[in-house]
Amino acid sequence: MQKEAAIREPLILGHKTYHDITEDVCRPIEDKAPKMWYTLFGIALIIGLYGVGSILYLLGTGIGVWGLNKTIGWAWDITNFVWWVGIGHAGTLISAVLLLFRQKWRMAINRSAEAMTIFAVFMAGLFPLIHMGRLWVGYWVLPLPNQFGSLWVNFNSPLLWDVFAISTYLSVSLVFWYIGLIPDFATIRDRAKKPLSKKMYSILAFGWSGRAKNWNRFELVSLVLAGLATPLVFSVHSIVSFDFATSVIPGWHTTIFPPYFVAGAVFSGFAMVQTLLLVMRKAMGLEAYIHTKHVEYMNIVIMVTGSIVGTAYITELFISWYSGVEYESYAFINRATGPYWWAYWSMMTCNVISPQLMWIPKLRRSLLFTFFISIVVNIGMWFERYVIIVTSIHRDYIPAAWSMHFPSHIDIGVYVGTIGLFFVFFLLFARFFPVLALNEVKTILKGSGQSYKESPDYHKHH
């Protein structure tokens, strides 16, 4: 058993036993769903279906139904793509990077954060696919032998790098998540009383039995997957930023993009984790496992990454002037004072000022304030991508080609629809899957549980 300093706050509050942990996590799955769940699920489903309808209309008609024009060929679609991918960065960061750093507080949140990651990447992947217009030829992005002669995809293109990065990220995250889920499904299987749920969880648990050798392999696989997923997390958003950084558009052609995008992704991802977990812990009665200290840790991550993002904004602004490149300076002056000034200043307020408030301990330990800021950050990060994408291209080199982007109702429908679908998936997850890595949490009970830490035996040497 690993011991930790007495002044460190316990990670599991109250007097819990191993069995209590099982009970607390499994009860919401075994009990009937509360009315609130049906209400939320209904709302999310309606919004999601509206999104599906918008996508079907778009596929049937063509991407002309978006508010794009000859100058602005990318707008909400790619903004939403980058926004969702960014949100999808927290889960694997929490489970992989924090595992390598042996941060035990990750155990209470990694499962739901990873689920969020996977659903967010689903939503992200949707946008490049529907942007193809002809979804059914989507497989053309893969280097497959074909009837067109020696026709291969372009391996020099960041857009193809993205195909590989996103699909690797999605599938590896999914595997990482599922490998952790198997022992917990086994717990639910062994408790299940109804034949149908016993059958379902038996299939999901893959016959897991918890042998010592299996656990030995489990720990190594988790560690190696974490080691593989850590550079993967950083590479994915770096590659997303290459989509812009390797172009010649002023405002995009920036070497600072990869680290700046990665920090932004972690920033927005943690904000989304906060939004979801603050509601989930309350609704599912998990306050003993996900408490103020966890929220505070996440707020510190938000503060640090938010500061990196803020520094990047200001560096970018400074360099655009310092470079002496007229086009580059114009791109930035236009962002701040041009027709999209409101988007730029919303971004600055939401992303630069709000995380700085987390320096105040009282605020970063306040759940209500955290919830508010997490929403603000999510809005700010959407604006960041919108500002980068739309303001950089809406002023073309020839003034005759200058243009504005106005979203059509399909733009809005698809975007809002993905939020609905995301919540449909997340609510289903919260209803049927163990939302806490319950068996992993048991390993920290004796080291970080409140009742154990407060017992007089804790600091004795054995």
Partner 1 sequence: MSDKVIYVMYDDDEALKDSAKKLVSKGVKISEVFSPFPIHGIDPIIGIKNTRLGIMAFLYGLTGLTVATLGMRFFMVTDWPMNIGGKPNFSYLDNMLAFVPISFEFTVLCAAHGMAITYLLRNKTLPGMPAQNPDPRTTDDKFVMEIRLNENHGISEAELDEMLKETGFFELDKKEIN
The contact set with partner 1 (CB under 8 A) reads 1, 17-19, 22, 143, 150-156, 158, 160-161, 164-165, 167-168, 171-172, 175-176, 179, 182-183, 186-187, 189-191, 202-203, 205-221, 224-225, 228-229, 231-232, 235, 239, 242, 439-440, 442-443, 446
Contact between 380 and 86 under an 8 Å Cβ cutoff? The reply is no
Q: How far is the CB of 446 from partner 1 (least distance, A)?
A: 8
Alpha-carbon distance values, 141 to 55, 207, 407 (Å): 20, 37, 27
1: number of Cβ within 10 Å: 10
Q: How far is the CB of 203 from partner 1 (least distance, A)?
A: 6
| Smaller CB separation from partner 1, 203 or 404 | 203
Q: How remote is the C-alpha of 453 from its chain's centroid? A: 33
Paired strand residues for 12: 449
| Smaller CB separation from partner 1, 346 or 448 | 448
Q: How far is the CB of 97 from partner 1 (least distance, A)?
A: 15
**How many residues does this entry show for the chain?**
462
| Smaller CB separation from partner 1, 202 or 315 | 202
- Token pair belonging to 443: 């390993």
Question: How far, in Å, CA of 241 to CA of 224, rounded?
Answer: 27
| Smaller CB separation from partner 1, 112 or 230 | 230
Contact between 404 and 67 under an 8 Å Cβ cutoff? The reply is no
Maximum alpha-carbon separation in the chain: 80
Q: How far is the CB of 182 from partner 1 (least distance, A)?
A: 6
Question: How far, in Å, CA of 396 to CA of 382, rounded?
Answer: 23
Q: How far is the CB of 128 from partner 1 (least distance, A)?
A: 16
Alpha-carbon distance values, 66 to 60, 132, 342, 383 (Å): 13, 13, 22, 18
400: number of Cβ within 10 Å: 7
| Smaller CB separation from partner 1, 220 or 353 | 220
Q: Report the SS3 class of residue 12.
A: strand
| Smaller CB separation from partner 1, 153 or 279 | 153
| Smaller CB separation from partner 1, 217 or 409 | 217
Q: How far is the CB of 415 from partner 1 (least distance, A)?
A: 28
Q: How far is the CB of 462 from partner 1 (least distance, A)?
A: 9
Q: How far is the CB of 261 from partner 1 (least distance, A)?
A: 14
Question: How far, in Å, CA of 265 to CA of 166, rounded?
Answer: 14
Where b means 16+ CB within 10 Å and e means fewer, 24-61 reads bbbebbeeeeeeebeebbeebeebbebbeebbeebbee
| Smaller CB separation from partner 1, 251 or 434 | 434
